[in-house]
Amino acid sequence: METLPSLELRGYELLARYSMDSEESVVQGIAMAFASLDVDPQSQETVIHDIVDTDALRQLQESSDRHVRVSMHLWDHPVVVTPEDVSIYGTEDD
């Protein structure tokens, strides 16, 4: 399957991209992507479940034959999720 073209977010740069394997859930992928930036998901005031429907994210991952992506703002960062990976964006000041 082809991957989606890169998403350009004006004023933001890619800080981290985490490729998920078939054994990981999207929530685990998001947590790992933030962990790569030294952000501990467990220490945040809000949890992923408060921001986005995690069942919908799971369905996104399971329908990996489609070209879809979900974007959200999580822990002060734009986040883009596809069935294959999680991308976290930030400004130059991050």
pLDDT single digits (tens) 62-73: 765 667 788 899
Q: pLDDT band for position 1 (50/70/90)?
A: very low
Give the β-pairing of 85-90 and 13-19.
antiparallel
Distance of CA 1 to the CA centre of its chain: 19
pLDDT at 9: 66
**pTM score:** 0.81
Q: Please compute the mean of the pLDDT values over residues 22-42 and round it to a whole number.
A: 92
Distance CA(69)–CA(56), nearest Å, equals 11
Mean pLDDT of the chain: 83
